[in-house]
């Protein structure tokens, strides 16, 4: 199976990075492109949430651009190229799917995931703790959920949602009792971590749940701006409250994510 457009794209990236290419592209490094990688990935997620397949096609292209740029830079530095990246990924996928490419028999998804974790651990013997390998660059909310999931795998878990809710309330109490900024920051972090565990126990993606709430708030706030008969800064608390309730009724809660980037 051939992919001529992909081959042409790889060639285009190479030209852009060449002496006869684009000065901006030539100036880029792995470090300078870090922000772009994260930004493009989140824009692709926005496209997925919107359900707009044309938008998703475009954003996946932007993610692919970042992969190809990093691969081209690495090639120029003599480390690896996009072919090496593809081979490494293909080898890993085959190794981690012995029930497809080998003779391993599995009873279902749970066993597949257990085998995946076992094979991954074998590939990375340098990791001694379950907490090793947690990304330091992803959002703290995503990290908290992953940390929680890893701890649960060995039985470190609350017995019920009610027990966890009691823990959350106790964290609020400790926050109220904190005296210094550092103490309040620490206790507030404990509140967030406990709430993320409540999301995980209920199969809720905490990051996506917060994105949804952010979007809902922005939609309602925009509606308030439309409805306000005087500058928002001049509103009393009672006027704010009444305007919020009116906006809440008018704005649909059908939250197909369509965040408008500033």
pLDDT 10s digits, 103-135? 999 899 989 988 888 888 888 888 888 888 888
Q: What is the pTM of this model?
A: 0.68
The reply to whether CATH 1.10.10.10 applies to domain 4-80 is: no
Cβ–Cβ under 8 Å, residues 250 and 224: no
The domain ranges of the chain are 4-80, 87-125, 140-201, 212-250
pLDDT value at residue 259 = 43
DSSP string, 171-240: HHHHHHH--SHHHHHHHHHHHHHHHHHHHHHTT--HHHHHHHHHHHHHHHHHHHHHH-SS-GGG--HHHH
Percent of the chain with pLDDT over 90: 74
Residue 54 has what pLDDT? Answer: 97
pLDDT in tens, 229-260: 999 999 999 999 999 999 999 986 444 444 44
**Model confidence at 2, in pLDDT bands (50, 70, 90)?**
confident
CATH class of this structure's domain 140-201: mainly alpha
| CB count in 10 Å sphere of residue 192 | 15
What's phi and psi for 206, nearest 5 deg?
A: -60, -40
- CA terminus-to-terminus distance, the chain: 41
Instruction: Give me the pLDDT at residue 221, please.
Output: 94
Classify the C-alpha dihedral 128-130-131-135 as positive or negative. positive
Q: Which residue has the tokens 């990093």?
A: 70
Asked if domains 4-80 and 140-201 share a fold, the reply is yes
pLDDT, one tens digit per residue, over 135-187 is: 888 889 989 999 999 899 888 899 999 999 999 999 999 999 999 999 999 99
Place of tokens 């096609």: 57
Mean pLDDT calculated for residue range 6-24? 96
In this prediction, residue 59 carries a pLDDT of 97
| Predicted pLDDT of residue 69 | 97
Structure tokens, 28? 């880029």
Compute the CA torsion angle 218, 223, 228, 231 (nearest 10 deg): 30
């Amino acid at each position: 199976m051939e992919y001529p457009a992909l081959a042409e794209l790889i060639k285009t990236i190479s030209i852009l990075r060449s002496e006869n290419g684009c000065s901006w592209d030539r100036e880029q490094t792995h470090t300078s492109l870090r922000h772009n990688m994260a930004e493009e990935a989140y824009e692709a997620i926005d496209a997925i949430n919107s359900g707009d397949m044309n938008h998703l096609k475009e954003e996946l292209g932007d993610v692919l651009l970042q992969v190809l740029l990093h691969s081209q830079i690495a090639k120029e530095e003599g480390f690896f190229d996009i072919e090496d990246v593809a081979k490494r990924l293909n080898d890993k996928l085959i190794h981690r799917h012995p029930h497809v490419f080998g003779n391993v028999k599995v009873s279902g998804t749970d066993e597949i995931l257990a085998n995946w974790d076992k094979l991954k651990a074998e590939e990375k013997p340098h990791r001694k703790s379950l907490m090793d390998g947690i990304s330091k660059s992803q959002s703290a909310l995503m990290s908290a959920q992953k940390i929680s999931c890893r701890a649960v795998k060995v039985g470190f878990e609350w017995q019920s949602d009610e027990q966890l809710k009691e823990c959350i309330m106790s964290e609020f109490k400790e926050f109220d009792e904190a005296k210094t900024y550092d103490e309040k920051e620490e206790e507030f972090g404990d509140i967030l971590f406990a709430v993320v565990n409540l999301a995980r126990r209920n199969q809720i993606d905490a990051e996506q749940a917060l994105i949804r709430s952010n979007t809902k708030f922005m939609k309602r706030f925009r509606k308030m701006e439309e409805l306000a008969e005087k500058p928002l800064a001049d509103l009393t608390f009672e006027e704010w409250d009444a305007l919020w309730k009116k906006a809440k009724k008018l704005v649909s809660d059908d939250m197909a994510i369509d965040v408008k980037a500033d």
